[in-house]
């Protein structure tokens, strides 16, 4: 083949790749904007767009009028009237690295012909649905989605249901005695409609209760909520909005800076994000980015990055725009917390209680700034619900330090021969039968301590800081003790000798002596710590403390039945059954006796006597920071009066005592109409009184 023919062949192949990318991106736009059913995460879309831009940059003749690089992504969906925006709603170019931000800042300074640091307004990048809202003479007259940037969908009826968006703008006081100054005759404001995390969880909980499809994320839920043909459905969704810019503006002068614009919008009653502030130069932009990244998990709404805008409006006009994006702004995206990869296999890990947890083995992929090659699939019910198969292209999510999980499958990419996941009949560690009880999602190995995996996890739990607190007994040492069969139960730990420990790799005399000293120190413990350390199914630290306080002695626990367990705070039928089964087991009783003979000592006494039964039968939940006492002190005082102090709010809860910074429990109480008390109400309870409805929400 001649050199010219080779060049023509390569050009044809490049053109085919560009056309294929255009078609794939158009399909993703349709699913995202029209069907509200995205099939790939944003990071995958950005990757495809970047590939297309690179091809077009290398060969501009490939740029087609319908290329998604030449317009704002989106399309007008059926069922809504079309709306032409007075001023186009532009997209933003993306920055993914510090170098990208530095390059953006350099371009800005070069075009403005300045060597000084530029002032930027840095704002969170909301992850919701972009909207344009038109006010005429202060009255809301029209609302539209972004659509393709020039034409959107009329969602006026739906947007009017969002209570945080005013139907009439407030008149701002001039501040100099000139009375009230009205908004412009025509004002198009741009913002983002979103669903707060609390509202998203509530929405999905209701959908699950009704057997309906769950929303994938808050952004998807917000888009689906705003594009309901029946505005009454939208009205039932707890949507919110922040505003950050303007389009058409006529009648009064515009503010001279981005921060002044935000202040003006806020004064007219349009919510702006409180995190926004002015920063100077690229260095302060990056500092803001890192600060907001650290704060991200604590925010009540979803963000996916930071937007930097040149602060001075005159500079924005001087910089201008390209066909689809302004030159004076850029979005600095956080590392993607979702990505696509291929699931090769599924292994099953065995935990402390014998539960088999399916773990996806993935082709490594960067998610949330870290390489991920394993992700949890939770249980077989989740695998069956999501229809995950070996060989599938899957969506992997990672948020902060949370264990990565497989959240969905891209069915369009399923290969022939993709293999369904099967629950093993035998434990993958010890070969014992696996049991899955009817009505339970969990499947369990039946071997107990005879399974090395269960023994290992049980020993680590027994030695944990909040249990027996055996310093030095970590993963590596426990692995060696189990592999060499030196320890077959927690009681065996106290029979270890210096010689046995010194025989282990990398274990010298001093290290071995330290472990023995830690074991000796752990013998002086409490009944609550012991109960938690035993690893009884469903018995956590709080429940263990409640059991110890109620029964007072191990002997009383050994003799108790289900009915007696049920009167203990936080103990319901499931935990009562676990307790009865544990203490009825001869093997467990023998283990407790061996621990006693090994020298473990825990103070014992009679069951706690109540000072009175003034609060008998009351179910109380504490939340937030209390004034004048800790929640532990309040719990003990309430229990002494006969109240049951629970950790969860339900319809059976009589009172929720809410201190400062109360969270989801307060919201749940308000949702269920449970009486909420403040610290004065708590004081009345502790005096033996029963407050009337103090605040029934």
Active-site residue set: 125
| Closest to 495 in 3D by CA, of 390, 599, 402, 396 | 599
| Closest to 470 in 3D by CA, of 379, 398, 533 | 533
**CB atoms < 10 A from the CB of 253, how many?**
7
Query: For residues 595 and 19, what is the distance between their CA atoms, to the nearest angstrom?
Result: 72
Residue burial 430-449, b: 16+ Cβ < 10 Å; e: rest: bebebeeeeeeebbbbebbb
Helix (H/G/I), strand (E/B), else coil: 532: helix
Residue burial 664-677, b: 16+ Cβ < 10 Å; e: rest: ebbbbbbeeebbbb
Query: For residues 382 and 316, what is the distance between their CA atoms, to the nearest angstrom?
Result: 50
HSE-CB at 389 with a 13 A cutoff on CA atoms is 13
**For the CA atoms of 140, 146, 152, 153, what is the dihedral angle to 10 degrees?**
-70
Query: For residues 534 and 387, what is the distance between their CA atoms, to the nearest angstrom?
Result: 37
Query: For residues 646 and 636, what is the distance between their CA atoms, to the nearest angstrom?
Result: 12
Query: For residues 50 and 671, what is the distance between their CA atoms, to the nearest angstrom?
Result: 45
Q: Which tokens belong to 495?
A: 């029979």
Q: Give the bridge partners for 241, in sequence order.
A: 193
Are 352 and 331 a contacting pair, CB within 8 Å? no
Helix (H/G/I), strand (E/B), else coil: 623: strand
Are 389 and 419 a contacting pair, CB within 8 Å? yes
| Closest to 56 in 3D by CA, of 97, 22, 29 | 22
What is the H or E stretch that residue 203 is in?
helix 197-209
Are 29 and 75 a contacting pair, CB within 8 Å? yes
Query: For residues 92 and 114, what is the distance between their CA atoms, to the nearest angstrom?
Result: 23
Are 87 and 81 a contacting pair, CB within 8 Å? no
Are 215 and 200 a contacting pair, CB within 8 Å? yes
CA distances from 269 to 86, 108, 193, 252, 485 (A): 22, 32, 16, 17, 70
Phi, psi of 498 (to 5 degrees): -60, -40
- Residue identified by tokens 């009066």 is 641
């Amino acid at each position: 083949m001649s050199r010219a023919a080779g060049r023509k062949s390569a050009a044809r192949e490049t053109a085919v790749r560009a056309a294929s990318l255009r078609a794939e991106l158009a399909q993703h736009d349709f699913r995202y904007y029209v069907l509200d059913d995205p099939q790939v995460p944003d990071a995958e879309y950005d990757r495809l767009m970047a590939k297309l831009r690179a091809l077009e940059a290398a060969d501009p003749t490939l740029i087609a009028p319908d290329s998604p690089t030449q317009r704002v992504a989106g399309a007008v969906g059926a069922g809504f009237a079309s709306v032409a925006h007075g001023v186009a709603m532009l997209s933003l170019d993306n920055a993914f690295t510090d170098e990208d931000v530095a390059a953006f800042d350099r371009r800005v300074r070069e075009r403005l012909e300045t060597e000084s640091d530029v002032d930027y307004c840095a704002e969170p990048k909301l992850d919701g649905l972009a909207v344009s809202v038109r006010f005429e003479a202060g009255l809301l007259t029209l609302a539209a989605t972004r659509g393709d940037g020039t034409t959107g969908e009329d969602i006026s009826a739906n947007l009017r249901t969002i209570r945080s968006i005013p139907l009439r703008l407030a008149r701002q006081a001039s501040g100099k005695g000139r009375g009230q100054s009205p908004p412009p005759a025509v004002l198009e404001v741009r913002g983002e409609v979103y669903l707060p995390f609390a509202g998203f969880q509530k929405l999905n909980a209701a959908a699950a209760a009704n057997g309906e499809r769950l929303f994938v994320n808050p952004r998807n839920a917000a888009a689906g909520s705003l594009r309901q043909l029946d505005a009454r459905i939208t009205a039932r969704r707890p949507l919110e909005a922040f505003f950050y810019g303007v389009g058409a503006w006529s009648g009064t002068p515009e503010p001279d800076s981005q921060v002044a614009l935000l202040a003006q919008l806020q004064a007219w009653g349009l919510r702006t994000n409180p995190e926004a502030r002015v920063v100077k130069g690229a260095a302060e932009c990056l500092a803001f980015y890192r600060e907001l990244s650290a704060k991200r998990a604590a925010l009540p709404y979803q963000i996916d990055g930071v937007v930097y805008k040149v602060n001075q409006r005159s500079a924005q006009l001087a910089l201008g725009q390209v066909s689809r994006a302004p030159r004076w702004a850029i979005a600095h995206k956080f590392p993607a917390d979702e990505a696509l990869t291929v699931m090769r296999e599924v292994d099953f890990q065995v935990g402390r209680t014998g539960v088999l947890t399916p773990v996806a083995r993935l082709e490594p992929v960067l998610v949330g700034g870290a390489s991920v090659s394993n992700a949890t699939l939770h249980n077989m019910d989740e695998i069956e619900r999501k229809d995950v198969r070996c060989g599938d292209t899957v969506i992997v999510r990672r948020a902060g330090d949370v264990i990565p999980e497989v959240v969905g499958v891209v069915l369009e990419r399923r290969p022939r021969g993709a293999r369904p996941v099967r629950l093993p009949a035998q434990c993958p560690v010890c070969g014992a039968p696996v049991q899955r009880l009817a009505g339970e999602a969990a499947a369990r190995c039946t071997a107990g301590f005879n399974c090395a995996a269960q023994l290992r996890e049980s020993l680590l739990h027994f030695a944990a800081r909040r249990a027996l607190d055996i310093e030095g007994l970590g993963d590596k040492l426990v692995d060696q003790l189990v592999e060499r069969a030196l320890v077959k139960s927690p009681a065996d730990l106290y029979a270890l000798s210096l010689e046995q420990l010194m025989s282990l790799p990398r274990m010298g005399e001093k290290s071995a002596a330290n472990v023995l000293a830690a074991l000796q120190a752990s013998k002086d413990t409490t009944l609550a710590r012991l109960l938690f350390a035993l690893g009884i199914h469903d018995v956590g630290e709080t429940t263990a403390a409640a059991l110890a306080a109620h029964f007072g002695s191990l002997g009383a626990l050994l003799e108790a039945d289900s009915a007696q367990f049920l009167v203990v705070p936080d103990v319901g039928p499931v935990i009562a059954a676990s307790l009865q089964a544990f203490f009825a087991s001869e093997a467990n009783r023998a283990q407790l006796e061996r621990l006693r003979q090994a020298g473990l000592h825990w103070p014992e006494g009679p069951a706690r006597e109540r000072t009175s039964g003034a609060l008998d039968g009351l179910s109380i939940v504490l939340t937030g920071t209390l004034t004048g006492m800790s929640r532990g002190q309040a719990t003990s005082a309430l229990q002494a009066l006969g109240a049951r102090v629970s950790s969860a709010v339900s319809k059976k809860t009589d009172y929720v005592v809410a201190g400062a910074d109360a969270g989801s429990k307060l919201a749940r109480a308000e949702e269920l109409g449970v009486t909420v008390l403040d610290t004065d109400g708590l004081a009345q309870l502790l005096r033996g009184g029963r407050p009337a409805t103090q605040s029934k929400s």
